[in-house]
Structure 1
Amino acid sequence: MKLTRVLFVALSIAFLSSCTNDDNDNSPKGSYDNGVFVLNEGNSSGGSVSFLGDDMVTFKQDVYGSENPGDVFGKYMQNIFFDGDKAYIIAGGSNVINVVNRYTFKLIAKIETGLITPRYGVARNGKAYVTNANTYSYANPATGNTDDFVAVIDLVTNKVESKINLNATANRIVMDGDKLYISEPYDSEKVLVVNTVTKTLETPINVGSSANTMEVKNGILYVLASPYGGASKIIKVKLSDKSVTEVLFPLALKDAGNLDIYGSKIYFTKGTGVYNMDITATQPVETPIFKYTSTSQYGVMYGFAVENDKIYIADGGDFASNGKAYVYSLTGTLQKELAVGVGPNGFYFND
């Protein structure tokens, strides 16, 4: 009897220990867990993805090519978005979305129908929503500014199941609850609002012209707009009632871009400079945290992000040879310089 009780206790301890170890298993899920992907836009010859580990040592210049040899990745890579253990990589110049395991980067599927110049995507509840520029007004004056749409993708079948016509131009997209918020920077002064339950347009939000980057935090949509030749501004939209407040920038900060919110700070860029301001501030700080050196004609600050107490900058270079990515501390100390692929345009964190 005593032996049985001792054996039972021993087995119970072993079982609980095993469960505890499983629950606390923080081992990497693959070669590309715990790090950042750098999306390289490339050109008509194709794009690529680079990877930098959180240890700031592990680096691979062409992740997709090394994990999927012989596969055609696509031209003019535009955006990456995640859902569960999958990453969706938009090749805007090839009308393709490559679906890979986000930790191994092995190809799972390709979404190749129902897309026309895809731009940016988000995912929620088994569906992805991808903006499509369709045609452009310079090539199609009649409908180029009104034929954009959102492709609704079933993430089980990896098929476009429907589309939501926008009667407008569409670019960046963010999601909050069941609503999509889509920037329309080229031909309007509004942010489009799409109800994903009814798949219909709701009343748009007027933010002024040239909205370029957006982010939702704590029920507020932050939009950075930089009208050509005019003052930049940050528009704050309280999504519960659509009320709008603005933070107007001085002309010295015109052409600001790359809004990113990290902690209690709003970060943005102007030229080669990185700036920040308190999220509650009513005016921006005009002195940059730091500036970096670039000789690129069109690729200055081509990609930008703030994450994990670091600032990430992508420089497009000449868009023919490999570009550069830089990692700085929040105070502007250079921590890493990387030769990535052609035209690096974005950072995507895989933690």
Structure 2
Amino acid sequence: MKFNKMFLVALTSMSVFLSCSDNDDNAPDDSKVYTNGAFILNEGGSGQGSVSFISNDLGSFMQDVYGTVNPGDLFGKYVQSIFFNGDNAYIIAGGSNKITVVNRVTFKLVAKIETGLVAPRYGVVKDGKAYVTNANTYSYANPTTGNTDDYVAVINLSTNTVESTIPLNATANRIVLENGKLYITEPYNNTNVLVVNPTTNTVEAPIAVGSDADTMEVHNGILYVLRSPYGGPSEIVKVKLSDSTLSNVVFPAALNDAKNLDIYNNKIYYTVDTSVYAMDITASAASTTAILTYSSTSVYGKMYGFSVNNDNIYIADGGDFTANSNAYIYSLTGTLKKTLTVGVGPNGFYFNN
């Protein structure tokens, strides 16, 4: 569940799974592979999450990859995110305190990590170990409860076990790895990006970027952080990681509550409500001209998943979190190329290229 309502093994001898329709759930077939495309993560509502797959050429689609390949097995509740390492993909189910490990090409079950995790969120990999943020006892109803007990679980990927934890004394959400350091956003009214040294498993001096930081990305040594404080202007904070100096681009009021920062081809893409915008990475002002606007009746799930890749804009609409919802794929100029019926609460795209 999101706080705001909260990559390839090449097999030249095998062809990408092909389907004649947008919703073709066939029986397991060892000849099918899921490469050169995007996994669409479906969070699920009160039930189980799922993963869909769309090929880069948009010609092949599978609505429920895991259920098809591993019939009868389940991810768990509130499937949050995916990270990759070598041959494997790791699917985090925050509501079930579990990470399911699958082969990233066949999506066959490899292992499950079910101890040492409490509300896991996002993960990255360094030197054979995964570093996964855990929200621990965080309460949506009362955000002041448990807001200092979050931690990073350190997972030995050779044994798929949590071997240690790094207490953060803060609230943790998204995580990126750059130049041997872990950078972690704090949600809501917390004002820092946390910095963790995985060599020593210690927390270093945080970077004060302002409250409500969420999505972030590193590009050419600069950490770009999008923050959207309630009732105030959104902004992109640029952190030069070599010396932690800051600069920012403050958005006009028309772009309040901006979300979903993604960088592609030296442009920063971001969303507001159901619209997508882009600005040059060196621009000093944000564009207020939308590339596209899509239609949504969702109360909490508008633009619930977003990515820009392969010269396409990928959008997932969370819907009502009880029934299957839709994902949309647009050109970079805003032309709709594909509409997909995916699972319940689609919240992200992960590219297996």
Letter of the 2:157 partner, please give it. L
Pairwise CA distance, 1:42? 0.2
Pairwise CA distance, 1:55? 2.4
1:147 to 149, 166, 171: 149
1:160 matched to 2:162: yes
The 3-state SS of whatever aligns with 1:319 is coil
Letter of the 2:168 partner, please give it. L
1:31 matched to 2:11: no
Aligned to 1:306: 308
Aligned to 2:257: 255
Aligned to 1:332: 334
- In 2, the alpha carbon distance for the partners of 1:24 and 1:81 equals 20
Pairwise CA distance, 1:44? 2.3
Contact 1:311 1:330 in 2 (8 A): yes
The 3-state SS of whatever aligns with 1:252 is helix
- In 2, the alpha carbon distance for the partners of 1:279 and 1:187 equals 27
Q: How many percent of aligned residue pairs carry the same amino acid? A: 68
Task: State which drifts further: 300-309 or 180-189.
Answer: 180-189
Letter of the 1:77 partner, please give it. V
Aligned to 1:246: 248
Aligned to 2:78: 76
- Aligned positions of 1:91-106 closer than 5 A: 91-106=93-108
Contact 2:101 2:112 in 1 (8 A): yes
1:205 matched to 2:207: yes
- Aligned positions of 1:45-84 closer than 5 A: 45-84=47-86
- In 2, the alpha carbon distance for the partners of 1:185 and 1:94 equals 21
Aligned pair in 2 of structure 1 residues 142, 208: CA closer, same or farther (>3 Å)? closer
Q: Cα RMSD between the aligned structures?
A: 1.6
Aligned to 1:272: 274
Contact 2:195 2:204 in 1 (8 A): yes
Contact 1:145 1:187 in 2 (8 A): no
Letter of the 1:273 partner, please give it. S
- Aligned positions of 1:98-247 closer than 5 A: 98-137=100-139, 144-247=146-249
- In 2, the alpha carbon distance for the partners of 1:342 and 1:141 equals 26
Q: What is the TM-score when the length of structure 1 is the normalising length? A: 0.91
Q: Which runs of 5+ in 1 are unaligned?
A: 1-22
Letter of the 1:301 partner, please give it. M
- In 2, the alpha carbon distance for the partners of 1:160 and 1:53 equals 33
The 3-state SS of whatever aligns with 2:68 is helix
- Report how many aligned residue pairs link the two structures: 329
Pairwise CA distance, 1:34? 0.8
Contact 2:14 2:33 in 1 (8 A): no
- In 2, the alpha carbon distance for the partners of 1:320 and 1:55 equals 30
- In 1, the alpha carbon distance for the partners of 2:143 and 2:351 equals 39
Greater helix proportion: 1
Aligned to 2:28: none
The 3-state SS of whatever aligns with 1:43 is coil
Letter of the 1:41 partner, please give it. E
Pairwise CA distance, 1:57? 1.5
Pairwise CA distance, 1:188? 1.2
The 3-state SS of whatever aligns with 1:36 is strand
Aligned pair in 2 of structure 1 residues 139, 322: CA closer, same or farther (>3 Å)? closer
Letter of the 2:247 partner, please give it. T
Letter of the 2:94 partner, please give it. G
Contact 2:100 2:111 in 1 (8 A): yes
| 1:220-239 Cα distance to aligned partner (Å, 9 max, x none) | 10000000010000000000
- In 2, the alpha carbon distance for the partners of 1:137 and 1:50 equals 29
Deviating above 6 A after TM superposition, structure 1's stretches of 4 or more consecutive aligned residues are: 139-142
Contact 1:48 1:65 in 2 (8 A): yes
- In 2, the alpha carbon distance for the partners of 1:48 and 1:264 equals 32
